[in-house]
Amino acid sequence: MATQTWGDKETQFFYELSPEKILSCVESLGFKTTGRAMVLNSMENRVYEIEIYSDSPNPSEHFLISKFYRPGRWSKEQIQDEHDFLLELDESEVPVIAPLVIDGQSVFTDEVSGLYYCLFPKKGGRAPDEMNIDDLEILGRTLARLHTIGASKKAEHRLKITPQVYGRQNLNYLLNAKVIPSHLEKTYNDLVLEVCNISEPYFNEEKFIRIHGDCHLGNIIRRGDASFHLIDLDDMVMGPEVQDIWLSIPGVDQYALQDRAILLEAYESMRPFPREQLKLIESLRTLRFIHFSAWISKRWEDPAFKLHFPQFAEHHYWEIQIQDLRSQLELINNSLNNQYLY
């Protein structure tokens, strides 16, 4: 089991990843490329659409998706845990996009750079802007099926989403990196520790299962047959099922609660849902805030992060974080002490 949120090795840049290297890696697995490669959107890894020669009449089969993992972010064993989960889900006809298996392998290593990479089939789709009742019911049943497979075995090398790992470890990284303005550091530290301390007793690690871990609407695509596919399990973790529920419906207003109720009713037609976990939503939301700040800090020397998150270097960013933590702390206390929540 990995112990560090950001991997047990120091991450590096993708300096050694040239277009020639990308195409060479794909061709080393037996494909003939046309020389065309298009960069796809990904902050953490490097993902490319590669055109290949193919006799297939299906246009999508003339392309592959190559994914190169950020050096040092995940071990090969952790990536394999992700792939094994995807392959199990695919075998059980849960709508995901599984990696290609070539000669019994799905995780490959470039011998020169040491980069880990894999290939996926190209599957088109669009992220939903909103969901109607039918959509919510389909998603609820899909998540139930994913969790049924997720509960069948452990991911031995994956992180657990706990206040210790996603809260205190991220806090320690931020403090050591000296990115929090000195006059705000103690306040931020105290608030994060209070969030972790009051939330921790409610996290039952013994009942954790394999979950998607980052199941927001951007990682749910609608395909032509109106089904939903769950994509990008790069942040797959061992954790409570409710993490996937609240991220798919993150709102807190009356309409969001109604949507969540519809989704859970459909979920429970396939699998029991541990409703006591609903108490954890605000704790999990807050851990995600902390994790997000640490993620930006860890990647700050990557030029792409400075371009996308310029506010991170300003004092105002941390003032907002402190305001959010104070608000979340009140919500957490209300949730954990509300016996009628579920």
Feature table: binding site for Mg(2+)? 219, 232
In this structure, what token pair is assigned to residue 25? 């890696």
How many residues are recorded in the chain?
342
Contact 88, 155 (CB under 8 A): no
Q: Are 242 and 277 in contact (CB under 8 A)?
A: yes
Q: What is the set of active-site residues?
A: 214, 232
Find out whether 104 and 200 touch, Cβ atoms under 8 Å.
no
Instruction: Give me the amino acid identity at 207.
Output: K
Strand pairing category for 220-222 and 228-230: antiparallel
What is the rounded CA–CA span in Å between residue 30 and residue 113? 20
Q: What tokens does 185 get? A: 């550091």
Residue in 139, 147, 177 with CA at minimum distance from that of residue 259: 139
> Which residues contribute to the annotated binding site?
219, 232
Q: Tell me the residue type at 7.
A: G
Question: H/E element holding 31?
Answer: none
Burial environment of residue 312 by CB neighbours within 10 A (0 to 12, 13 to 18, 19 or more): middle
Q: Is residue 236 a contact partner of residue 205, using CB atoms and an 8 Å limit?
A: no
Beta-carbon contacts of 190 under 8 Å, excluding residues fewer than 6 positions away, are: none
Q: Which residue has the tokens 């921790």?
A: 200
Measured between alpha carbons, how far is 65 from 49 in angstroms, rounded to an integer? 5
Burial of 63 (0-12, 13-18, 19+ CB in 10 A): middle
Tokens of 203: 């996290």
From residue 155, alpha-carbon distances to 99, 160, 235, 279, 337 in Å are: 17, 10, 12, 25, 32
With a CB cutoff of 8 Å and minimum separation 6, the contacts of 262 are 133, 136, 137, 140
